[in-house]
Amino acid sequence: MAKDPSEPELDRELSDLPPELRWREWMRRIEAVLFASASPVPREDLARVVGQGASVDLLVEDLAADLDGRAFEIAQVAGGWMFRTRATYAPAIRAAADVEDQLLDLSEFDVAVLAAIAYHQPITRDGLKDIFGKEISRDLIGRLHARGLIGTGPRSPRRGAPYTFVTTEQFLVAFDLETLADLPEREQLEDAGLDGGS
């Protein structure tokens, strides 16, 4: 999309402001970007609205401190930051708003399949069958895909080049993970009974 030439250039440095007001303005810019975004915003994108010497991490920390005691918070997930409502207010939201289509409503088996995909990705349906000892239905894969929790990965180099499955950014957001490295240790999954027999 081409930039509108009539739009003024963003003054990132704000050198005409005293340091404390400059910092406050950078915080508000980050707040505006996070508020407007439906997905996590990476550091590089936030850095585009602040000056050269500004630390995005410190600005986000200060903004998070400003939000202390509010109904929403800044979460670091999927390689970026986003606003989300604090978990404490989930019952109030469900009572007042139609959010049924946003609820994950996953069974234990669904979560086990997601865990298997997360730990073994990219993985084929045959790979999942090897882990669980039974065929994983196309319906289950379709539901996880429709919710944006998994996506199609690279084709397997095996005969027939079957599709593989991988987790998505939405998976990281839904399970409050910054990266896949934040997944629990496999022993924790076994203790919880979610290891899928792997």
Taking CA atoms, 121 is separated from 99, 146, 159, 187, in Å, by: 30, 18, 19, 18
Average pLDDT by consecutive 10-residue portion of the chain (198 residues)?
63 87 92 90 92 90 92 89 85 70 73 90 91 90 89 84 89 85 77 54
Tell me if 49 sits within 8 A of 26, measured CB to CB.
yes
Beta bridge partners of 5: none
Q: Token pair 């920390």 is at which residue?
A: 61
- The Cβ of residue 23 has, within 10 Å, a number of other Cβ atoms equal to 18
**Chain length of the chain:** 198
104-192 maps to which CATH number? 1.10.10.10
Helices then strands, each counted (H, E), the chain: 9, 4
Helix residue ranges, H only, 37-178: 43-47, 56-66, 90-96, 108-120, 125-132, 138-146, 169-174
* Contact status, residue 198 vs residue 120, Cβ threshold 8 Å: yes
What local confidence, expressed as pLDDT, does residue 101 receive?
53
Name the residue with tokens 């970007």: 33
Q: How many whole angstroms separate alpha carbon 35 and alpha carbon 73?
A: 11
* Two domains, one topology: 19-89 and 104-192: yes
pLDDT for 3 equals 52
CATH of region 19-89: 1.10.10.10
**Predicted pLDDT at 1:** 45
Domain ranges, ordered by start, for the chain? 19-89, 104-192
Question: Which pLDDT belongs to residue 45?
Answer: 92
Cα–Cα nearest to 64, from 93, 24, 31:
31
Burial class (CB in 10 A: 0-12, 13-18, 19+), 67: middle
Which pLDDT score, from 0 to 100, does residue 189 have? 63
Give the type of residue at 198.
S
For the entire predicted model, the pTM comes to 0.58
Q: What's the pLDDT at 191?
A: 67
